Structure formats: C-alpha cells, structure tokens
Amino acid sequence: MIEDKCKCKPTEILIFPCSRGSNVGQIANEAAKDLTALGHGKMYCLAGISGKASGIVESTKAAKRIIVIDGCSVQCARKTLGQSGFIPDLHVIVTDLGIKKKNSFFMDVSEIEAVIDKISSDENED
C-alpha cells in the first residue's frame, strides 16, 4: 500500500499568507506565524514570489508542499503564486471559515485558532 500522506520536514513545507490589508489578512498572517512556531511548516515570502527573487522562487520550486492562506475570496496569495506557476497543495480562505472581513486590524485569538485547526485537520486527511 502506498502512503499518500506527506512525510515532509517543516522546512520542506512553505506557508504563504495573505499580505494583511484587513482583519482577515492579519488572521492569515498570524496563523502562518503560529503554524511555523508549531512546526507545521515555514512561513515564506509572497513578495519575493511576485518580485521574482531567484532564491525565493528556487526554494519554492524545491518545496514538497505549499500551503496558502488567503484572507478573502479575492485570493491574492493564491493568484500571486499562480502567476509564477505554483499551485498550492492546500489553500485556505479565512472568510470561508465564517469569519467576516472588516476594515480594521482587530482579530480574535479564536479566529486565528480556527485557521490553524482547519490547516491541521486538512494536513491529517492528506
């Protein structure tokens, strides 16, 4: 039987969050930081992808798994990666979890935890 579950090291899993233009962007960013601290992967540089920074692009090519956390349905992070030919292995949209987008940077810890829980549960299903 072939094992489909990723046996990746945290450094082989790159996490690209939204750029934080609203509360849901802040939540995406904080979740990526927390996931990195918890050993679920390594938060990586979305601006480096759009800027075509060679080292960042090459590291992303070498990644075994790409996780994208977008704040809202505009999906800026996913689209930015897509323009450079990268397709996420896991894509989470914060507003799809029932969190409303607001023109503020206020966020609740429980909202960040909801994103972390979603990613953790989806990782376990792979």
pLDDT band for 102, please (50, 70, 90 cuts).
Answer: very high
**Sheet-wide strand order for 90-93:** 42-43, 13-17, 65-70, 90-93
Ramachandran sector of residue 108 (left: φ over 0; alpha: ψ -120 to 50; beta: rest): beta
CA distance linking residue 84 with residue 76, whole number of Å: 13
Q: What is the pLDDT of residue 85?
A: 97
The pTM assigned to this predicted structure is 0.89
Tell me: the pLDDT tens digits for 52-81? 999 999 999 999 999 999 999 999 999 999
Query: Which residue would you say has higher pLDDT here, 116 or 123?
Result: 116
The phi and psi torsions of 86 (rounded to 5 degrees) equal -100, 135
Length, in residues, of the chain:
126
Tell me: the pLDDT tens digits for 2-50? 345 556 675 799 999 997 789 999 999 999 999 999 999 999 999 999 9
Q: Which of 124, 79, 99, 121 is nearest to 28 (CA)?
A: 99
Collapsing DSSP to helix, strand or coil, 120 comes out as: helix
Q: Report the 10 Å Cβ neighbour count for 13.
A: 23
Q: Report the 10 Å Cβ neighbour count for 44.
A: 20
- Mean pLDDT of all residues in 74-98: 97
Instruction: Show the domains of the chain with their CATH numbers.
Output: 10-120 (3.40.1400)
Burial 54-78 (b: 16+ CB within 10 A, else e): eebbebbeebebbbbbbbbeebbbb
